[in-house]
Amino acid sequence: MSAFLWNALSFIVALGILVTVHEFGHFWVARKNGVFVKRFSIGFGKALVRWRDKHDTEFVIAAIPLGGYVQMLDERTDPVLPKYQNLAFNHKSVWQRISIVAAGPAANFIFAIFLLWIMYLVGVPEVKPVIQTTQTTSIAAAAGIIENEQILAVNGRAARDIRTANLLLVEQLGRAEIRLTLLHRESLQVREVVLDTRAWQFDPEKEGVFTSLGLNLLQPQATSTLALVTPGSAAEQAGLRAGDTILVIDNEPITRWEQIDRIIKNSPETTLRLEVQRDNEIIIVQATPALSQHADGFSQGLLGIVPMASPWPEDLRYIQRYGIFAAAKEGIDQTWQLTRLSFSMVAKLLTGDVSVKHLSGPIAIAQGAGTTASMGLIAFLSFMALISVNLGVINLLPLPILDGGHLMYLVVELIRGKPVSERAQEIGFRFGALVLLMLMGIALLNDISRL
């Protein structure tokens, strides 16, 4: 199956599940509050499958799998006979309507907890964040961080693994300083250092958060043995195969992958003589890296090979696994951390600490879904938990077209004792739709530019 089809299928499965969960939250609470639900639709457009239940609700699976909706009986959109007014959404109390609207995002947060609970019951492979080196003249070097120190906490919050440490550091964007708690793995000395981040520049499209601070983590190293030769590439045309080990390039003995990478990038359209070990035989290969031209005008050589990585140091790896109740607590804690980070990123977008060029749209989500699905169940569940939290957070934003906008109007109604005028709501919905479409357009353009 091609990468495109795999990504698309993974995206449809993930989004379909998450949208169903979100809309079921609205549906279930509406039913509990005595509201008649006319339609429960997953997707938009032409109905592919439809059926009705005993309550006469129509369930639909539609052709465009990019969302869904729950249509309730409401006098503001449909004529309602007097005898059925008690079943209409607009005839329920303000608190009942608030609970129905808030149930969608709440369902996403609960589902994220459930996914993480399953993950921690099964066991999540984790790696400790241990520093191998610091880059000279970097923020980390200025703070006096040395090699073989493990990050224990970021601003007092525990960072037991690389993933958690990464999220906690991203959350600190815009702060003047970051306090790290470190453990030296030989002396076992624990100390705190303060990173001066007033001049911190972090571009997630170009580098990771650790690298941006000058931290190089201890991790598997690229070797001179090839893990993959890209089909149709210059390497395949030269006869290179996965499993080959490059020993010499143009009389330069190879001991590190960085040498191979440097030579190839500096030799576009130049024939290179490679001595390669294949099984127990030494063979000679003539390879000519193709010319790769970047959008900014920069060019370099491209051969089409991917190195094999050395194994993780065993003392860094561990399995995070808990019992039923401890896994539930971990799921709640992780969901709260993701929620806090998501709201923090929204605030940083408004303050300018995070650029809109980092927004991601459906293409990036599809690629993430495909990649994590390929990595296995735990990675895919983790991805779905993250997207579920993001879906909940986005829907709580106070844009009138979203659940958060409806909640905003209902809170105003609760305070004033009467609903917001239909005229004001209509203006708000148009404004909300414009802002949402603008953000979606920016995200989609960002996705396209990264292809």
Please state, in angstroms and rounded to a whole number, the distance separating the CA atoms of residues 310 and 238.
Answer: 25
Q: Which amino acid would we find at residue 206?
A: K
Q: Strand pairing partners for 175? A: none
Spell out the residues 6+ positions from residue 347 whose beta carbon is closer than 8 angstroms to its own. Answer: none
CA distances from 181 to 9, 72, 137, 191, 201 (A): 42, 52, 21, 6, 22
Please state, in angstroms and rounded to a whole number, the distance separating the CA atoms of residues 334 and 114.
Answer: 11
CA angle 266, 270, 276 (to 5 degrees): 90
Spell out the residues 6+ positions from residue 292 whose beta carbon is closer than 8 angstroms to its own. Answer: 268, 299, 300, 301, 302
Catalytic position from the list 23, 149, 171, 330: 23
Please state, in angstroms and rounded to a whole number, the distance separating the CA atoms of residues 350 and 174.
Answer: 12
Give yes or no: 23 in active site: yes
Spell out the residues 6+ positions from residue 214 whose beta carbon is closer than 8 angstroms to its own. Answer: 134, 135, 137, 138, 139, 140, 141
Picking from 445, 443, 374, 380, the residue whose alpha carbon sits closest to that of residue 5 is 374
What the block records as the tokens of 146 is 């040395």
CA distances from 430 to 44, 56, 67, 445 (A): 20, 32, 19, 22
Q: Strand pairing partners for 282? A: 277
Please state, in angstroms and rounded to a whole number, the distance separating the CA atoms of residues 369 and 15.
Answer: 9
- Active-site residue set: 23
